[in-house]
Structure 1
Amino acid sequence: MPRTSDLANPRIIIDSVDKVFTLRHTHSFKESFVAWVKRKTTSTSFQALEGISFTVAEGESVALLGYNGSGKSTLLKLISGVLKPDGGRILTRGRVAGLIEVGAGFHPDLSGRENVYLNAAILGMRRSEIDARFDEIVAFSEIGEFIDTEVKHYSSGMFVRLAFSVAIHTELDILLVDEVLAVGDAPFREKCVAKIKELASQNKTMFVVSHDLGMVSQLCTRGVVIRHGRMIFDGTVDDAIAALQKDV
């Protein structure tokens, strides 16, 4: 596998990235005041990511692997711009579409139709582009007659289908997928996998987080393994899966 750091036009550069969260141990001003009087600690810091560095070339499909709490989802949120790093930098080139959390960006009081336009606009699509692709988005999502229903009445599976459909029908350059394909029935998951493979064949850049190692090996050619916020492996996806399974 070629070293992506040597390639001329990377899609993503992750350079010495750190992320720290503050964990608060009080839930009210009164508790905070009492803790202060008693000189008790009211918060602690948690290092979610430390010194993460790697580069992703245009057209690469990368799996982020690691056990719960390793920092995978935090890294995806940093790449998408939802979070900012506390140290280092992340550079992306092109339009980023992220499926980070079920229903993220959906307004519960708006209909499915209205949320399609809202989310597609957030992803950078013009009204004319959305109009041209609207029927295709709805057909892929299998929402059907519920497209004009307020999304607060949707099941989690309906959320995922519509959100995924909007994201993959944008003119994206980088697609971030975090476990959302675990929701929904098997036929729809198979359709999603086929669509992601189609995007990969179009030289789109992919980041996939999933505990389904079979799916990961289908979709990705490269794997990055994170443990306790640090990168411990970067190589072919099969070798990355093997490294993850050794890290028990």
Structure 2
Amino acid sequence: MSLIKLEDVGLKFHVRRAGRVSLKDYLLHGMFRRSKRNSFEVQALEHVNLTVDEGARLGIVGHNGAGKSTLLKLLAGVYPPTTGRRVVNGRISSLFEIALGFEPDANGWENIAYRGYLQGETPRSIRAKIEPIAEFSELGDFLNMPVRYYSSGMKVRLAFSIATSIEPEILIVDEVLSAGDMAFQNKARERIKTLMSAARAVIIVSHDMKALELLCESIIWLDHGKIQAIGPPEDIIKSYTRQQNQSKEKRQAA
């Protein structure tokens, strides 16, 4: 059964140019009409066809700016497609930008409850999860402090611990395997494995190629918003890494 299907999907962003509109531009293009020269279009994704079946464990690789996170957000429903069709059969749980949205003046305990509610928890369900979340974060007495005094690493630890307390159906993950120090990253990887085993399908983006080989059964290679290839992790990662090394050598030789 197909849980997610993208049919010839494209996504465009209208981007406003930086800087102020000059008086000349303002007068030439009409005092009450926005200048067309003041914005432009970015084709973020183009002709994307993808089927995510029951049991899929799918990874996504690509250079910075290839559209990996954008594709995940489109799959999760954050961005609607500009063209084409997106069909979803199931409830999506997404893990990206997990460190955003903390209440800085609230302490760690209060933020666990607050973020839990945002994830759809009820007061009863989050009460049952507070202690396991706190224990996994390893923050101890720091949970009594306002989050504004946390280091970035502490915030990521807490955010990851809260975000991964879900019971996912379709799990979408973006670069959360780099949470905290090396010991915590190992814990994070094991937690993701547990979530993946419970989910009906998983889609994950990471720059950690070894993790993708271990966690995924198939890899998408995304290049400038287009799917370059889909195949077994070992084959795709080898081809992608070779292409990246060749590009690096060309830049160094130029």
TM-score (norm 2): 0.84
Q: 1:145 to 1:174 in 2, by over 3 A?
A: farther
Is 1:21 aligned with 2:13? yes
**2:151 counterpart of 1:155:** yes
Aligned to 2:53: 57
Separation of aligned partners in 2, 1:152 and 1:88: 43
1:182 partner SS: coil
Per-residue CA shift, 1:13-67, capped at 9, x if unaligned?
2222211112222434xx2554344668212111010121211123322111100
Q: CA 1:94 to 1:111, structure 2 compared with 1: closer, same or farther past 3 Å?
A: farther
* Larger deviation, residues 59-68 vs 108-117: 108-117
Question: 1:192 maps to what in 2?
Answer: 188
- Alignment partners' CA distance in 2, 1:49 and 1:38: 34
Corresponding residue to 1:91 among 87, 91, 100: 87
Q: CA deviation at 1:241?
A: 0.8
Change (3 A) 1:109 1:167: same
Give the direction of change, closer, same or farther, for the CA distance of 1:156–1:245 in structure 2 (3 Å limit).
same
The aligned counterpart of 1:170 is: 166
Distance 2:153 2:88 in 1: 30
Paired amino acid for 1:220:
C
Give 3-state SS (helix, strand or coil) of 1:197's partner. helix
Q: Is the 8 A contact 1:17 1:52 kept in 2?
A: yes
Structure 1 range deviating more: 203-212 or 127-136: 203-212
How many Å separate the matches in 2 of 1:176 and 1:32? 43
Q: TM-score, normalised by structure 1?
A: 0.86
- Equivalence map 1:185-224=2 (5 Å): 185-224=181-220
Counterpart CA distance in 2 for 1:34 and 1:26 is 17
Match of 1:5 in 2: none
Shift of 1:204: 4.1
Give secondary structure in 1 for the equivalent of 2:180: coil
Decide which structure has the larger Cα Rg and report it: 2
Does structure 2 retain, via aligned residues, the 8 Å contact 1:97–1:167?
no
Q: Deviations over 1:150-178 (max 9, x none)?
A: 22222222222222212221121122222
Asked if the contact 1:21–1:46 (Cα under 8 Å) also holds between the matched residues in 2, the reply is yes
Contact 1:13 1:54 survives alignment (8 Å): yes
> The residue matched to 2:211 in structure 1 has which SS?
helix
The residue number in structure 1 matching 2:252 is: none
Aligned pair count reads 238
Tell whether the 8 Å contact from 2:213 to 2:233 is kept in structure 1 after alignment. Answer: yes
User: Residue 23 of structure 1 aligns to which amino acid in structure 2?
Assistant: V
The alignment's C-alpha RMSD in Å is 2.1
Question: Structure 2 CA distance, aligned partners of 1:34 and 1:176?
Answer: 47
Cα offset for 1:188?
Answer: 0.6
Which runs of no fewer than 5 residues in structure 1 stay unpaired? 1-7
The match for 2:247 is none
2:177 is paired with a residue of what secondary structure? helix
